[in-house]
Copies of this chain bind each other. A is one copy, B any other.
Amino acid sequence: MARSSEVCRSNCPINFVLETFGDKWTLLIVRDLMFKGKRTYGEFLESDERISTNILADRLKRLEEHEIVEKTVAPDNRSKLIYSLTPKGKDLLPVMLEITAWSAKHDATTNTPNSFLDMFAAAKDKMMSAILSELE
């Protein structure tokens, strides 16, 4: 369904994700919703990466169209809109954790000081070796 609204380059699962998240900004919005407790347009604008207003509006619209994010009116203030992750959006959690683990392993400047992450990465190493040996 998501694919019907745009050009589809192939039926590969990796490509499917790229057609939604293949840019520098979309995944940051998911991150802010999932890990940083941000919920409004104004809060997304304040993130370190300094997304511009037109790009933010466009990406929120696309995320809604893909049913990854949904928008509701704040109960206490009708001029305030609350963005939140749908179940489909929340299902991205394992992807986000693997990305975080990879960055923590390969980038010294990344801020992810977490002892559980080390154990997580070590277990992943075993899994990766097992699968790679089967692929070769």
Q: How far is the CB of A38 from chain B (nearest CB, A)?
A: 13
Using CB atoms, name the residue of chain B closest to A93.
B128
Q: Which residue of B lies closest to A103 (CB)?
A: B13
Task: List B contacts of A49 (CB < 8 A).
Answer: 9-10, 12, 15
- Output the residue of A24, A50, A88 with the most chain B CB within 10 A: A24
Instruction: Indicate if A76 sits at the interface (CB-CB under 8 A).
Output: no
Secondary structure of the A contact surface, majority rule: helix
- With A123-B131, A124-B94 as given contacts, are A100 and B14 in contact (CB-CB < 8 Å)? yes
Chain A residues engaging chain B, CB cutoff 8 angstroms:
2-3, 8-19, 22-25, 27-28, 31, 34-35, 47-50, 88, 90-107, 109-112, 119-120, 123-124, 126-128, 130-132, 134-135
Q: Which residues of B contact A131 (CB under 8 A)?
A: 93, 97, 119-120, 123
